[in-house]
Amino acid sequence: MSDKSIIILGIESSCDETSAAVLADGKILANIIASQKVHETYGGVVPELASRAHQQNIVPVVDQAIKASKIDKRNISAISYTRGPGLMGSLLVGASFAKAMALALNIPLIEVNHLQAHIHAHFIIEKDGFSNQPGFPFLCLTVSGGHTQIVRVNNFFEMKLLGETIDDAAGEAFDKIAKILGFAYPGGPLIDEYAKTGDAQKFNFTHPNVPGYDFSFSGLKTAFMYFIRDNIKRDSEFIVKNKADICASIQKTIVDILMQNLKQAAIDHNITEIALAGGVSANSLLRKTLKNIGEERNWKVYIPKFEYCTDNAAMIAETGFLKFKHNEFSSQELAPVARLKFI
Ligand code: KG4
Ligand code: ZN
């Protein structure tokens, strides 16, 4: 790190993670994430509780990130923050904090689109210099609790949305199905865990019929609800007796739906650099399937470290760094946007 280093403080507060990160010339110095446990018993994120928790966490999280990075806050070049999409009450906490701190330090502000940042997570450089960056153009499948998209990335800021979910996100589908099974929120990781010992061919669920590269998961969720209801009528112990097979079968269906469109997009666009982003990237079957199809089709597959897949400020700082180099700064008047469009 030299006197001329570009040091970015990134702030993320779009959903239920309060996070702050420090990046110097694209290299990660600190990435602190405070996850909110208050939503566990509600089966999903409660927006009002999320904003209150952000309000409690934001100062200690930023303080911890600056201390862990060992930088002097007077050397920060700019502050980047998530402008959207996300929960309005949550976004307001991060945006207001970023604005106040930028004013206090007299440094520029940089607004960040959360979905672009998930993709830019692939360009974060580790402390030891390691990075595994996809080459342009690449396709990125972003799968999280809030989003499911296939994006063609031509360069850092030229991105084309090829397809997205028309209703529920993939992570949301995992969580809602898990809730039907009686699991706590977020249930996606539990489905993954139980599925490990199950037979994925035991139960069949039909795939949605959606044109192009778009996705739909709400029909699957409803079909699953009826499937459980009907089977419980016949045997009240149905879930307990078949937990692993149910989880394996539904997980395979979700992964197959995701991979079908990704595979088609890769063929149609003649692209072999394939990247994954978002919290559902943690799913072991999705990772395995992507790697297997990748070997079959000569794809180069990129999956960021889990810490950069789930919501985190390192990716927000990375986008901030890329925008800083383009002199793209934002005014203090800019307001967060809950439904911020992708481009
Ligand atoms: O990116 P993320 O942390 O937050 C959002 O932006 O939504 O993603 C969280 C989502 C949740 O829906 C969670 O259930 C899902 O990612 N998830 C998983 C796994 N780990 C996290 N879904 C399936 N299998 C997993 N192993
Ligand atoms: Zn996200």
Note the pLDDT tens digit of each residue in 51-99: 999 999 999 999 999 999 999 999 999 999 999 999 999 999 999 999 9
- Write out the DSSP string of 119-158: HHGGGPBPTTS---PPPSSEEEEEE-SS-EEEEEEEETTE
Q: What is the dihedral of CA 119, 5, 107, 133, to 10 degrees?
A: 0
Within the chain, residue ranges assigned H as helices are 47-69, 88-105, 114-120, 170-180, 188-195, 218-234, 238-269, 284-297, 306-309, 313-325
* Greatest pairwise CA separation for the chain in angstroms: 71
Residue range 141-154: mean pLDDT, rounded: 96
Written as six digits, the tokens of 31 are: 């990435």
Closest to 179 (Cα-Cα) out of 130, 146, 228, 212: 228
Residues 6+ apart with CB under 8 A from 94: 11, 12, 13, 14, 18, 54, 58, 81, 82
Phi (first) and psi of residue 155, to 5 degrees: -155, -170
User: From the CB of 186, is ligand 1 less than 6 Å away?
Assistant: yes
Angle between helix 47-69 and 88-105 (nearest 10): 30
Which whole number is the average pLDDT over 5-28? 96
User: pLDDT averaged over the chain?
Assistant: 95
Token pair, residue 157, equals 């800021």
- Asked if pLDDT for residue 28 goes beyond 80, the answer is yes
User: Residue 43: its pLDDT value, please?
Assistant: 74
- Position 37 scores a pLDDT of 80
Ligand that lies nearest to the alpha carbon of residue 194, given by its number in the listed order? 1
Nearest listed ligand to the Cα of residue 144: 1
Ligand 1 center from residue 329 Cα (angstroms): 31
Ligand nearest to the CA of 118: 2
pLDDT score of 12? 98
Residue located via tokens 């390192």 = 314
- Taking the C-alpha atoms of residue 207 and residue 211, their distance in angstroms, rounded to an integer, is 12
Question: What's the confidence (pLDDT) of residue 295?
Answer: 96
Higher pLDDT, 49 or 164: 164
Which residue carries 């779009």 as its tokens?
Answer: 14
Task: For residue 175, give the ligand 1 atom closest to its CA.
Answer: 14
Q: What is the pLDDT of residues 211-252, one digit of tens each?
A: 999 999 999 999 999 999 999 999 999 999 999 999 999 999
How far away, in angstroms, is 208 Cα from ligand 2 center?
24
- Please check the confidence at residue 48 and state whether its pLDDT lies above 80: yes
Ligand 1 binding pocket includes 33 (Cβ within 6 Å): no
**Can you tell me the distance from the alpha carbon of 162 to that of 174, in angstroms, rounded to the nearest whole number?**
23
Confidence band for 290, pLDDT divided at 50, 70 and 90: very high
Q: Average pLDDT of 117-131?
A: 97
Residue 117 has pLDDT above 80, yes or no: yes
pTM of the complete model: 0.95
pLDDT the model gives residue 332: 96
Looking at residues 252-256, what average pLDDT do you find? Answer: 98
The verdict on the CB of residue 10 being under 6 Å from ligand 1 is: no
User: Does residue 343 carry a pLDDT above 70?
Assistant: no
Instruction: Tell me the pairing of strands 300-302 and 158-164.
Output: unpaired
* CA 279–ligand 1 middle distance (angstroms): 4
Contact assessment for residue 185 and residue 42, using Cβ atoms and an 8 Å cutoff: yes
Give the pLDDT band of residue 39 (cuts 50, 70, 90).
Answer: confident
CA atoms of 24 and 70, how far apart (whole Å):
11
C-alpha–C-alpha distance, residues 296 and 240, integer Å? 37
Q: What is the pLDDT of residue 83?
A: 98
Q: Which atom of ligand 1 is nearest to the CA of 14?
A: 6
Q: Given the structure tokens 């739906």, which residue do they identify? A: 257
Average pLDDT for 189-199: 98
CA nearest to 271, candidates 112, 140, 105: 140
Quick one: how far is CA 286 from the chain centroid? 14
CA distance 299 to 274: 7
8 Å CB contact between 335 and 33: no
Does residue 42 register a pLDDT over 90? Answer: no
Q: How far is the CA of 3 from the centre of ligand 2 (A)?
A: 33
